[in-house]
A and B are shown apart, each in its own frame.
Chain A
Amino acid sequence: MNMKTVTAPDVEIDPGLITEHSLDVPWTTVVWNDPVNLMSYVARVFRTYFGYSRSEAERLMLAVHHDGRCVVATGPREEMERHAEAMHERGLWATVARTEP
């Protein structure tokens, strides 16, 4: 039999983009409902901080209001911690959590 060997392709990925956390399970930022914060304010924070559109910010705000909590971001743990801190700067109650497997 005439077996042709195949060469391995060269990598075309910037190795700088691989971090020690690249294979980690992503984390989430969860915003919790509270009875004090104004709905218009919560929607405004989602729009101005996360850059969500008006309609998406409104949808997330209503999800927090009706379901008691809502995931507003997913990604690396450190980034989610920065988001939660930014929410606390603005008086929203947020926590970070590992995504459910």
Chain B
Amino acid sequence: VIEFALEGDGILLTADGTESKVIADLAGQLDGMLAARIGSGSPATGPGPRSLPDDPALARLLPDMIAGDAESAAELRALVEPSLLVHKRENARLVIASLAHPGMLDPVTEEAWVRLLTDLRLTIGARLGINDDRHGDDGIDPAATGTERTLHEVSAWLGGVLEHLISVLDARDDARDDTQAPV
């Protein structure tokens, strides 16, 4: 079970069973991919690598910031990528920690959950070669079999978890707007 509930102004995470284990496993795998990128020349400090990652999943998580100008894109990547990598790894770490001890989430961990779920779905989408809207937002390709089908199902499930979390966060924003609205 993975469930987010509005408790006062905070978000209460309930997490156990297979669902909790799957997300912790996937977060650990993503962290490993990001760590490998650092190992291959993107240090935590100083300029990072200048080229787009070869791995399509990493390339989607760390895309070029300038289209059609390779030199400018390379310069900007060297400046920006190291901190992006650190932050994405931190999201994975915070989510894994919150799964180990579910309960009220601090605001940083709330946002880490949103971003980690998004990055996991982008990674799976890249692995499956989803590059058009053929499957819809979360449709499972009926032709997929084996590992591919499992990844489709995991992505659709993660999409449901994220949609649930977004709806809870949006509902809290609505409540805050109501409180702050002039009488």
Q: Is the CB of B170 within 8 A of A40?
A: yes
Q: Is the CB of B163 within 8 A of A40?
A: yes
Contacts of A97 in B (CB 8 A): 66-67
| Bitwise interface map of A from 21 to 60 toward B, beta carbon under 8 Å scored 1, else 0 | 0000000001001111111110010001000000000000
Q: Is the CB of A38 within 8 A of B137?
A: yes
- Using CB atoms, name the residue of chain B closest to A39: B137
Secondary structure of the B contact surface, majority rule = helix
Contacts of B130 in A (CB 8 A): 35-36
Other contacts beyond A85-B65, A95-B63, A97-B67: 18, CB < 8 A:
A33-B133, A34-B125, A35-B132, A36-B121, A36-B125, A36-B137, A40-B166, A40-B167, A44-B166, A81-B76, A81-B80, A90-B115, A90-B118, A91-B118, A91-B119, A93-B60, A93-B63, A95-B64
Contact of B61 among A33, A39, A85, A91 (CB under 8 A): A91
Contact of B65 among A34, A35, A36, A95 (CB under 8 A): A95
Number of A-B contacts (CB under 8 A): 78
B residues with a Cβ closer than 8 A to A are: 60-67, 76, 80, 84, 87-88, 114-115, 118-119, 121-122, 125, 130-135, 137-138, 155, 159, 162-163, 166-167, 169-170, 173
Query: What CA separation (Å) do A25 and B65 show in the bound complex?
Result: 18
Query: What CA separation (Å) do A94 and B134 show in the bound complex?
Result: 22
Q: Is the CB of B65 within 8 A of A84?
A: yes
Query: What CA separation (Å) do A52 and B103 show in the bound complex?
Result: 31
Q: With contacts A88-B84, A97-B67 known, is A38 near B166, CB below 8 A?
A: yes
Q: With contacts A36-B121, A37-B118 known, is A85 near B170, CB below 8 A?
A: no
Contact of B122 among A81, A91, A94 (CB under 8 A): A91
Query: What CA separation (Å) do A39 and B118 show in the bound complex?
Result: 12
Q: With contacts A88-B62, A93-B60 known, is A38 near B162, CB below 8 A?
A: yes
Nearest CB in chain A: distance from B160 CB, A: 10
- Using CB atoms, name the residue of chain B closest to A27: B66
Q: With contacts A36-B125, A41-B114 known, is A85 near B137, CB below 8 A?
A: no
